[in-house]
Structure 1
Amino acid sequence: MIALPSSARAVIIGGGISGCSVAYHLARLGWTDIVLLERKRLTSGTTWHAAGLVGQLRASQNMTRLAKYSADLYTRLEAETGLATGFRQCGSITTALTTERREEIFRQASMARAFGVEVRELSPQEVGDLYPHLNLEGVVAGVHLPKDGQADPANIALALAKGARSRGALIAEGVKVTGVTRAEGRVTGVDWAQGDETGHIAADMVVNCGGMWGRDLAAQSGVTLPLHACEHFYIVTEAIEGLTELPVLRVPDECAYYKTDAGKMLLGAFEPVAKPWGMGGIPESFEFDQLPEDFDHFEPILEKATARMPLLARAGIHTFFNGPESFTPDDRYYLGEAPELRGYWVAAGYNSIGIASSGGAGMALAQWMEDGEPPFDLWEVDIRRAQPFQRNRRYLRERVTETLGLLYADHFPYRQPATARGVRRSPLHEHLKARGAVFGEAAGWERANWFARDGQEREYRYSWGRQNWFDNQREEHMALRTGVGLLDMSSFGKIRVEGPGALPFLQRICAGQIDVAVGLIVYTPMLNRQGGIESDLTVTRLSETAFLLVVPGATLQRDLAWLRRHLRDDLAVITDVTAAEAVLPLMGPKARDVLAAVSPNNFSKVAFPFGTAQEIEIGLGLARAHRVTYVGELGWELYVSTDQAAHVWETLVEAGEPLGLRLCGLHAMDSCRIEKAYRHWGHDITDEDHVLEAGLGFTVKTAKGDFIGREAVLRKREAGLSRRLVQFRLTDPRPLLFHNEPILRDGHIVGQLSSGNYGHALGGAVGLGYVPCMVRGETGAEMMASRYQIEVAGCLVDAEPSLTAMYDPKGERVRA
């Protein structure tokens, strides 16, 4: 037995590829007092039976950055450690059997070019040239990524472990962590057991790399880690004479992937309806184990595969494998420090892409632990996106039956999950449902995305073209622009900060001037030390000592964690009051007329100016009206206690009918906001985007005194901008934009769109994206003088650029 120390800087729990990568990268940063504890033997959970596919292209630039890092790491790891990783850049091919899938993979190819990944679109014949064993019947296109590869997962993990040990890390097998200890909201160490022996290691940081054990381990410490194991199937054939090394092949329309290895063929599946496993917990004895065969479950995949790959029909099956892997509710893994417990870090839930992801994830997490902040925007995988209710095991079991299959399903824009729905509902949910609402989900909230007409089907028909709700969105969009629309945004996160220290606290963490008169609303970011945008919010001063912060529903847990992290000794209390109030945005040129019909209050421009909040009477009740907008029109957000929400909604709808009031959904709100060039946190603005380069310098008040990020703002003002956020409108009204489409400046790719939607009032698709300056401090006029195009599924479309909002650039309609 290895002698375990009594203390360490960090203890890593779990000896799969994730834990080994974190240990390796912390050791590379010079951390020597690291301990990795593995309950059985290294790789014995999931890593040992992974298929070992290493693809570089992911759904965003930073996820691609991490996957590319993994591939580069595995290439050099063998030379560094002397252990063979089996990594071969044999390339990969993805095929399309439908025109919709062709659109998807061609859009992915465009995205790859924007991210600097080598890629080539293929005709069916070119697919056959690269993969001669493939039956090309029904194949309409393909995409080839020549630098993708495959590897030996267990050997990679062992090489990472050896590299960590050589730099001073201690790795102990056969040691089970029985608990994580804590005090005053912080981790203090771990308790462990090895046979009959027990002990404790004091530590400032603990990293949960427990894979499918990670959820229950986290729950012991009150940490939410929503993941669930599912059965994952593949077969390996007997040796096939003449079978040479070929690219990894994915046929997502048949839920299958293929890889060759030592003259054998591996066929794996991501079936549409998965089999959750381990609902009652993972057996204590589980080690290098596999689950019982279920040939009936796998047979539909195999039947299609033998038709697609005829050589399989002639090959014997050497291995039928069924092993568990962990999946998450949104098919994205978890990284970062848990918001519930300082010093408790997570790297888990890899959704069957752990080999491709763990190299980069380990690097990013180690750097995050070293610096106290992520090395770049990692919101997609940030543990702070997890919602507390998602620790519910029934919810997880139901959701992961779907998410495994979604890996190979068509990744249509606006696709909504079908399972485990209805958990979080607005008090107006049934009212909206009765009026034709079609709901989407965000952070568990059911939100009305669009409203069906009488007789129209109330469900999505997904496509890469104009979906079945496109005309509904246009009508709702134009109602907001020309008449009046009513939305339900009760999902907004609402945080009260109050107490004698509330004002100085908010002044320190907000970039805007918060010391304003009672009743004023301040639009402000919260910045990090680099001037990146940690949060995008409004702060309303309710009294001398009480403030209401309104944030996106999806970022509520993240924003609460940021606030609490920086509270220090301030005499202030932070309270999540999201469920206490419904929010009804009433927007459009006729909004004032509707309110005048239901309230005796004065809504004139003078009595109720933009950027202010007042309590109003409405119908028989009361509400707090905020004169702000996210659609770019005259309007008010009405904050109503949940018990009065139904009454206020009914009152508004009845009064609005003679004025043509229309119920509107989130799709229309988003298309309106993008016409107005309003930023969306997580897409257009993130913690990696400097507030000045995002075009939000007007929200920053450096003259007020010190605040987080102030020095970075002053430095950037002095040095000049290196890029700017630009709005684009396609001159051809037919193509659609979503996000990540490449931006070309004078014929060269310079970036990609951060968001996109259809601008119904502007007559074409509209997007936002960052464009680098040719030289630091390049003027706006010089930037606008170039020719811009957007690449849409391989086709170049001319685009009109603008540094100011194309719709109502002076904000006259908002302040009417």
Structure 2
Amino acid sequence: MQSTDSLPTEASTVVVGAGIVGCNVAYQLTEMGREDVVVVDQGPMPTTGGSSTHAPGIMFQTAEDKILTKFADYSRQLYSDLEGADGQQAYREVGGIEVARTDERMAFLERRVENALAWGIDDPQVLSPEEVTDHLPLVDADRILGGYYSPTDGQASGVVACDALARAAMDRGAAFVPHTRTEDVEVADGSVRAVVTENGRIECEEVVVATNIWARQLGEKLGVHLPVAPVEHQYTMTEPLAELADNAVDVTGHPLYENYENVSGEKAERLLAAPDRPILRDQDNAMYYRTHGDSYGIGSYNHDPVVPNPEDLGGNDPEGNQASVHDFTERFMDEATHPDRPDKSPRQASDELIPATAGKDLEYKYNGMFAESPNGLPVMGPVEGFDGLWTAAAIWITHAGGAGKALAEWMVNGTPRLPDGPIDLAHADVNRFDEHEGSWEFTRDIGGEEYRIVYNVMHPKWVWEGKQRDIRRTPMYHSHVELDAELWAEAGWEVPQWFDSNADLVERYRDRIPEREGWEAVYWSPIEGVEALNVRENVGLHDMTSFNKMEVVGPDAGAFVQRLCTNDMDIDVGRVRYTLMCNEAGGVRADITVTRTDENRYLLLTTGREVGNNHVAWVRDHAPEGVVVNDVTSSMAAMVCTGPNARDVLSEVTDVDLSDEAFPFFTSQEFYVRNVPVTALRVSYAGELGWELYTPSEYGETLWRHLLEAGEDHGLRPYGNGALNALRIEKGFRLWGVDLDTEQNPYETGLGWAVDLDTDFIGKEAVAAAAAGDDISTKVACLTLDDPEAVVMAGRPVLHKGDPIGYVHSAEYGYTVGACVVYTYLPPEYAEPGTELEIRYEGEHYAATVREEPLVD
């Protein structure tokens, strides 16, 4: 790799960080035609001294999260096409095996197969212990119950891949500048102007912060508080093993060896030696393994989390010591220090699984660092409020190829894509975070928690316990506590999932709520069912405060709202309209309700939870001068009173005429509920008669109590998010970020009725093409399971005659329809009502039928 020590004075794009992420971004940008790209790094190249240098490069593709799996699959393909400096393929496709020591882990490995089938990974398999040892003869078959095998998993050296990516990028015009620490990013009038380094200044239009464990420091200089935490984990390499003697290799002649040795010392001899057999994970003991010639490498997450303060990291020192590597902590290997694994030390677990390592010296050992985020996903995309500032952090070698491709597409063409189509990155978007998440205390604690659970069997509904809870309370919080609410954390809010005070209704509805026993029973209560049925038959009250709310104000607010929205937004004051926002490629960016509250004022209501802030950032970034976008989520309490008896309840506490004639559907009025001012919208996400009520936060608890009191004689009960999900899914209402996102256009989602092509809006050209049928590859489908007692969960494959044709986007039991309801996207020929399909779940196949939607009308 021939880098330059000459610092350019200007560039169109500067990538800060030449590790695996920065090199991938530069590779992709130049492949897409960008020639004026400069990459700077504080270390030498390609061995910069970050985690790409010390990481063993194992690549297990399958994850519960689709984003990570798709990124990994693309990375595998990309690295397979790269030629290393030694002329060999950069990717070693040796396969990957995850073993189980417990029944719980074996069930997890079955889910692995189902996730792999859902996300498109080739030939996933469950193996017997004997089949595991056919691939890995040094594993003790008596210690395991079986394994998960992915034949296309493998290993890619970070250094070899970085070198190959950088050489290709330089051939296309990019410049790579080593030994150059970035000190600041100059911004003027909200736009990037230059990168300031220790060796000079580079004027530029765009900056990509791809510094992983150092990302937080650079962000702080700009007032951008990235919740990216460096965490330590252990890696060791044994002395040569007699059982691997035939695999000994000499890598000292490798073209990168001298460079690697200068940064990593003698362990470069091991790190450059590729594996000769499948990589291995023993997640029950938070360990992983790969061979290095005649040595076994042992990685361990099996210890107490260590989260260094980024301010203490510094850079590589003059002696060549890596800032991303700390001294090995012997007790972490020899003692059981992991909070969830107190009974066995990592060394004992390792020697049990691979007896050939027992008693052998660990020749090379260190604590290496990588970056964690609050949900374990990347932190990437354009930073709100800064034109030209991009991030790409908390990304591993496994996922860096896909992340680099998606980011480059985003930068050049406006939307993230992989070769097989658009990929929604809402849950990885840098703008997804709430303000409290930027604090170092939160970042440190959640970084440690993410480290702790990285190899644990985690339920998709799991929520934080203990650390960093009870941060945000809705005004109704104290009432929720009094009513024994089961509170879950969402974006820092403490929100009810169900209310134990409603347990007295369980007997009434017992015959309509099937029992659950398996994975689907975890984090579930039959109270969710009774709350949903009570809404359908009587009336319920739901706290909606955590949903994101925006006010758009100004003389040009109407024109701006029309530009944002696909529907005709020329509405009168007091009217409410459901609409979509699309991105430039026609993908659904959000679904929202818009209320015109005054001549030049609009209220936009959209999804809450983790993804809601992305919508706020999107609207703000597109707002022209003269239009003010206020995030009023915290300043307005919100609730919905809904169900057949909703009008009776509200009539107890207001003199307003609530009849259909005086207060039609999709209209809004301002009035008083007793002594509380409200803005009331005649809409309901539950699909029943109902009013959403908004009031300044200080009135929220009073309003809630007024309604609870008024509803006592009308069967009113509060209900949580569990019931809401059941209600909305059987009504056919989409949930953005779950069964609606930017990967689909409005016509694929079945929401083409919310598009008016006589108006102008962002993405209109692409949406018009979809309306003409030019871009319809999938179609939304509503399925119900044929077995009325069965329940499945999201992320599992939908099958036709045994072949995967889609996956479950969302699923919940519909207590009104008496069946589990599934939403998915399928090739159009399979989405026709009456089509008989199957869903694979927990190793079983469940018959399902496509239905007309909505199921409840």
Q: CA RMSD in A?
A: 2.2
Aligned AA for 2:615?
D
Deviation string 1:212-255 (CA, Å, 9 cap, x unpaired) is 11111012112232111111112211111123633111121221
Aligned AA for 2:827?
P
Q: How does 1:339-418 map to 2 (within 5 A)?
A: 339-350=384-395, 354-375=396-417, 376=422, 377-418=424-465
For residue 85 of structure 1, report the CA deviation from its aligned partner.
6.2
> Is 2:738–2:810's contact at 8 Å kept on the other side of the alignment?
yes
Matched pairs, number? 788
2:256 maps to none
> Is 1:48–1:288's contact at 8 Å kept on the other side of the alignment?
no
Identical counterparts, % of pairs: 33
> Is 1:223–1:341's contact at 8 Å kept on the other side of the alignment?
no
**CA spacing shift, 1:254–1:216, aligned 2, 3 Å:** same
Deviation string 1:363-410 (CA, Å, 9 cap, x unpaired) is 221222111222222223221212232220011111111101222111
**Alpha-carbon separation, structure 2, partners of 1:640 and 1:51:** 55
Indicate which of 95, 114, 121 corresponds to 1:91.
Answer: 95
> Is 1:745–1:786's contact at 8 Å kept on the other side of the alignment?
no
2:690 maps to 635
Indicate which of 745, 768, 788 corresponds to 1:714.
Answer: 768
Q: How does 1:274-293 map to 2 (within 5 A)?
A: 274-278=305-309, 280-285=311-316, 287-289=321-323, 290-293=325-328
**Alpha-carbon separation, structure 2, partners of 1:212 and 1:789:** 44
**Alpha-carbon separation, structure 1, partners of 2:707 and 2:188:** 50
For residue 105 of structure 1, report the CA deviation from its aligned partner.
2.2
**Alpha-carbon separation, structure 2, partners of 1:44 and 1:428:** 50
**Alpha-carbon separation, structure 2, partners of 1:618 and 1:637:** 13
**Alpha-carbon separation, structure 1, partners of 2:523 and 2:211:** 43
For residue 123 of structure 1, report the CA deviation from its aligned partner.
2.8
**Alpha-carbon separation, structure 1, partners of 2:601 and 2:847:** 50
> Is 1:737–1:765's contact at 8 Å kept on the other side of the alignment?
yes
Aligned residue for 2:173, secondary structure, equals: coil
Q: How does 1:511-590 map to 2 (within 5 A)?
A: 511-553=566-608, 554-569=610-625, 571-590=626-645
> Is 2:835–2:849's contact at 8 Å kept on the other side of the alignment?
no
**Alpha-carbon separation, structure 2, partners of 1:187 and 1:3:** 22
Indicate which of 263, 274, 277 corresponds to 1:246.
Answer: 277
Aligned AA for 1:436?
D
Q: Does 1:667 align with 2:728?
A: no
**Alpha-carbon separation, structure 2, partners of 1:269 and 1:462:** 33
**Alpha-carbon separation, structure 1, partners of 2:749 and 2:523:** 33
Aligned residue for 1:266, secondary structure, equals: strand
Deviation string 1:98-121 (CA, Å, 9 cap, x unpaired) is 333333321221221233312112
Aligned AA for 2:227?
P
For residue 362 of structure 1, report the CA deviation from its aligned partner.
1.3
**Alpha-carbon separation, structure 2, partners of 1:115 and 1:212:** 29
Deviation string 1:758-801 (CA, Å, 9 cap, x unpaired) is 22222222110011124xxx9x7xx2343211111332211121
**Alpha-carbon separation, structure 2, partners of 1:767 and 1:585:** 25
1:302 maps to 347
Q: Does 1:683 align with 2:738?
A: yes
Aligned residue for 2:850, secondary structure, equals: strand
**CA spacing shift, 1:272–1:734, aligned 2, 3 Å:** farther
Range moving further from structure 2, 109-118 or 765-774 = 109-118
For residue 331 of structure 1, report the CA deviation from its aligned partner.
0.5
2:486 maps to 438
> Is 1:428–1:645's contact at 8 Å kept on the other side of the alignment?
yes
Indicate which of 804, 807, 815 corresponds to 2:853.
Answer: 804
**Alpha-carbon separation, structure 2, partners of 1:452 and 1:137:** 45
> Is 2:93–2:155's contact at 8 Å kept on the other side of the alignment?
yes
Aligned AA for 1:684?
D
**Normalising by structure 1, what TM-score?**
0.93
> Is 2:216–2:310's contact at 8 Å kept on the other side of the alignment?
no
Q: How does 1:193-272 map to 2 (within 5 A)?
A: 193-194=198-199, 199-243=200-244, 245-271=276-302
For residue 527 of structure 1, report the CA deviation from its aligned partner.
1.3
1:813 maps to none
> Is 2:685–2:728's contact at 8 Å kept on the other side of the alignment?
yes
Aligned residue for 1:405, secondary structure, equals: helix
2:252 maps to none
**Alpha-carbon separation, structure 1, partners of 2:710 and 2:675:** 13
> Is 2:446–2:468's contact at 8 Å kept on the other side of the alignment?
yes
For residue 303 of structure 1, report the CA deviation from its aligned partner.
2.3
**CA spacing shift, 1:805–1:98, aligned 2, 3 Å:** farther
1:170 maps to 175
For residue 566 of structure 1, report the CA deviation from its aligned partner.
2.3
Indicate which of 120, 123, 138 corresponds to 1:116.
Answer: 120
> Is 2:237–2:298's contact at 8 Å kept on the other side of the alignment?
yes
Aligned AA for 1:415?
W
1:106 maps to 110
Q: How does 1:127-138 map to 2 (within 5 A)?
A: 127-137=132-142
Aligned residue for 2:543, secondary structure, equals: coil
**Alpha-carbon separation, structure 1, partners of 2:789 and 2:459:** 18
1:423 maps to 471
Aligned AA for 2:51?
T
> Is 2:729–2:814's contact at 8 Å kept on the other side of the alignment?
yes
Aligned AA for 1:282?
L
Q: Does 1:749 align with 2:811?
A: no
**Alpha-carbon separation, structure 1, partners of 2:520 and 2:617:** 39
Indicate which of 61, 73, 94 corresponds to 1:56.
Answer: 61
**Alpha-carbon separation, structure 1, partners of 2:387 and 2:312:** 26
Q: Does 1:496 align with 2:500?
A: no
1:191 maps to 196
**Alpha-carbon separation, structure 2, partners of 1:331 and 1:383:** 13
Q: Does 1:769 align with 2:824?
A: yes
2:678 maps to 623
For residue 87 of structure 1, report the CA deviation from its aligned partner.
2.7
> Is 1:737–1:756's contact at 8 Å kept on the other side of the alignment?
yes
**Normalising by structure 2, what TM-score?**
0.88
**CA spacing shift, 1:316–1:3, aligned 2, 3 Å:** closer
For residue 30 of structure 1, report the CA deviation from its aligned partner.
2.3
Structure 1 residue runs of 5 or longer lacking an equivalent are 809-816
**Alpha-carbon separation, structure 2, partners of 1:795 and 1:144:** 19
For residue 497 of structure 1, report the CA deviation from its aligned partner.
0.6
Q: Does 1:611 align with 2:646?
A: no
**Alpha-carbon separation, structure 1, partners of 2:681 and 2:760:** 28
> Is 1:85–1:153's contact at 8 Å kept on the other side of the alignment?
no
1:812 maps to none
Q: Which runs of 4+ in 1 moved over 6 A?
A: none
> Is 2:415–2:584's contact at 8 Å kept on the other side of the alignment?
no
Q: Does 1:333 align with 2:367?
A: no
**Alpha-carbon separation, structure 2, partners of 1:86 and 1:530:** 33
**CA spacing shift, 1:454–1:315, aligned 2, 3 Å:** farther
For residue 272 of structure 1, report the CA deviation from its aligned partner.
6.7
**Alpha-carbon separation, structure 2, partners of 1:547 and 1:69:** 42
Aligned residue for 2:530, secondary structure, equals: helix
Range moving further from structure 2, 501-510 or 725-734 = 725-734
Q: Does 1:324 align with 2:379?
A: no
> Is 1:272–1:406's contact at 8 Å kept on the other side of the alignment?
no
